[in-house]
Amino acid sequence: MKLLSLKVPDTLDRKLVAAIRRRRIAKSTLVRQALEQYLDDTKAVRRGSFIELASDLVGSVRDAPPDLSSNPRHLADFGA
């Protein structure tokens, strides 16, 4: 396990102390749990392919034009 040191403002430390007393766990345990939850919930840290990350968007567009790459009208000035 890696060691991490950090400084926190007094107000945050008081909240941390109150939380560990209520939960009866060590500071390091609470900080690890909070950090893990934050990182799991943060979308910026999500992993996977583009298709996996965008899978909830599939089928969300209504009345979209058909495949533009197969319509010569849309390719008329491509590469000009």
Q: What is the DSSP string of the chain?
A: ---------HHHHHHHHHHHHHHT--HHHHHHHHHHHHHHH-GGG--S-HHHHHGGGTT---S--S-GGG-HHHHTTTT-
Task: For residue 73, tell me if it sits in a domain.
Answer: no
Mean pLDDT value of segment 42-67? 74
Task: For residue 16, tell me if it sits in a domain.
Answer: yes
Task: For residue 63, tell me if it sits in a domain.
Answer: no
Task: For residue 71, tell me if it sits in a domain.
Answer: no
Count of C-beta atoms within a 10 Å radius of residue 49: 8
Task: For residue 37, tell me if it sits in a domain.
Answer: yes
Amino acid identity at 57: L
Mean pLDDT value of segment 35-55? 77
Residue 80 has what pLDDT? Answer: 59
Instruction: For 2-44, write each residue's pLDDT tens digit.
Output: 999 999 999 999 999 999 999 999 999 999 999 998 888 766 6
Task: For residue 2, tell me if it sits in a domain.
Answer: no
> For the chain, how many structural domains are there in total?
1
Task: For residue 79, tell me if it sits in a domain.
Answer: no
Rounded Cα distance between 11 and 55, Å, is: 41
Residues of the domain holding 34: 8-56
Q: Is the model's pLDDT at 56 over the cut of 80?
A: yes
Task: For residue 52, tell me if it sits in a domain.
Answer: yes
